Amino acid sequence: MKKRLLTSGNVFKRTDGRWCGVVWYMDEAENRKRKSFSGTTKQAVSRKITAYIAEFDEELESRDESKRLLKDSIQNWLENYKFPSIEQTTYDRAECIARNQIYPAMGERLVGDVTASDVRNLLNSCMNKGLAYSTVKKVYVLLNEYFRTVYLEEMIPKNPMDTVEMIKKSNFLSAQGKENLPEYETITVFTEDEIKRFKKEAFATYSNGIPKHQQSSAYILILNTGMRAGEALALRNCDIDLEKRQIYIQKSVKEIYNRNGVKATGGKSTKIGKTKTPTSKRIIPLNDTAIDAIHRLREEYYFGEDAPLICDENGDYTKPVNFRKRYYRILKNAGIEQKGIHSLRHTFATRLVNGIKQPDGTIKALSPKQVADLLGHSTSQITEMYYVKKDTSRLNGITDGFDM
């Protein structure tokens, strides 16, 4: 609760001839309290009461969040409410959304002047600029959480987000002139031909036999295990059991902004942290191609069992930014349309669920639940919806004989 005045002050004369005054107020805990004053004259006490009330009002105004600029208030909320309670990578993303999408559009507005219409206009503007649905949703979620916090803390009298809903995805894509395809149709995977071209370029050498690309076997390892890039980069040699043909996923490499406390100081650092979710800690079996990739990586660099498998020339963890650059260089040289490094993981999932045709004509495939376990997903629905590009050609002729 906010402090508030209960009276404008009372002045009275005591029996000893001195003048006194009192101002009653309610503190933040809803306790009724008073401030007393004294003086030799009535005017002196009145001046003290007037000065106190002015100071009281000034303090209240300085605490009134509705009078602050939105960018200052959100930044304060991020630093004092969010930073202590979430991982730094999550905080970095939230701060990036605020700085790049919210502050330029509404940052100079007073918090109390922001309306539901302002928020809707911001979301529509982001949509019309062609931003991805996921990015615009992050804007919505951040604003919703911020305004909910300051409202529940009684820093503002009304929450403008109460009547704002996130734009429906179908309407969002339609407004951008994009066909509202099923999720699996938007998943990017490598074709059989692209895999061959990628592998050929990955292992290409110069005329003197020196490999063109560093750590190229790491991408083949991801393609055959479905690891996230961060999980692969955090993999140590001791996490690999070649005898059992298994790897143990326990950590993940992440990029974080360099900070002095909560303040960004420029540049990024590599951090070894926990996996994305608890289910991400898992054991992944190794096929022959994956084992060959591990041997190739160890031939390139090996600094002991406690060192990372995909290390740099000093035996340190590889920076994610360098790992991505090398991947995109292979794509470009192989003449393959740019795909995110996560496409290797999508391809792994798609191949396992859709299956591979065997010499006898049968399809060898895994269930979505099995693939979800390999990927570290909590449910098979996540795997099917966001990771598997369905092969609908397998349905051709499937209804033959079911004439009705």
Q: Please report the pLDDT score of residue 241 as a whole number.
A: 97
Residue 180 clears pLDDT 90, i.e. is over it:
no
pLDDT band for 26, please (50, 70, 90 cuts).
Answer: confident
Q: Are 70-180 and 192-354 in the same CATH fold? A: no
Q: Please report the pLDDT score of residue 341 as a whole number.
A: 95
Domain residue ranges of the chain, discontinuous segments joined by +: 4-63, 70-180, 192-354
Interval 305-326 mean pLDDT:
95
Query: Mean pLDDT lowest for which of 10-24, 41-55, 383-397?
Result: 383-397
The larger pLDDT score, comparing residue 145 to residue 186, is at 145
For the chain, give the mean pLDDT. 91
Q: Is 30 exposed, middle or buried (0-12, 13-18, 19+ CB in 10 A)?
A: exposed
Q: Please report the pLDDT score of residue 185 as a whole number.
A: 61
pLDDT tens digits for range 237-293: 999 999 999 999 999 999 999 998 888 888 888 889 889 889 999 999 999 999 999
How much of the chain, in percent, has pLDDT values that exceed 70?
96
Q: Please report the pLDDT score of residue 3 as a whole number.
A: 75
Which of 118, 110, 123 shows the shortest CA–CA distance to 150? 110
Q: Which CATH architecture fits 70-180?
A: Orthogonal Bundle (1.10)
Interval 86-109 mean pLDDT:
94
Interval 14-22 mean pLDDT:
91
Which of 94, 98, 100 shows the shortest CA–CA distance to 72? 98
Residue 65 clears pLDDT 60, i.e. is over it:
yes
- Token pair for residue 363? 């399809």
Interval 21-32 mean pLDDT:
86
Q: Is 329 exposed, middle or buried (0-12, 13-18, 19+ CB in 10 A)?
A: middle
Round to whole Å and give the CA distance between 157 and 137: 25
The larger pLDDT score, comparing residue 233 to residue 180, is at 233
Query: Mean pLDDT lowest for which of 43-52, 184-193, 321-330, 344-353?
Result: 184-193
H or E segment at 141? helix 133-152
CB 311 within 8 A of CB 270: no
Which position has the token pair 């991982």?
87
Q: Which CATH architecture fits 192-354?
A: Orthogonal Bundle (1.10)
Interval 59-69 mean pLDDT:
75
Q: Please report the pLDDT score of residue 300 as a whole number.
A: 95
Which of 140, 108, 109, 110 shows the shortest CA–CA distance to 126? 140
Residue 139 clears pLDDT 90, i.e. is over it:
yes
pLDDT tens digits for range 341-396: 999 999 999 999 998 888 887 888 899 999 999 999 999 999 988 888 887 776 67
364: three-class secondary structure by DSSP: strand
Q: Please report the pLDDT score of residue 299 as a whole number.
A: 96
Interval 1-9 mean pLDDT:
80
Residue 403 clears pLDDT 80, i.e. is over it:
no
Residue 63 clears pLDDT 80, i.e. is over it:
no
Q: Please report the pLDDT score of residue 43 as a whole number.
A: 93
Round to whole Å and give the CA distance between 285 and 373: 11
Q: Please report the pLDDT score of residue 173 as a whole number.
A: 85
Residue 119 clears pLDDT 90, i.e. is over it:
yes
pLDDT tens digits for range 149-167: 999 887 888 899 999 999 9
Query: Mean pLDDT lowest for which of 58-62, 142-146, 196-200, 283-287?
Result: 58-62
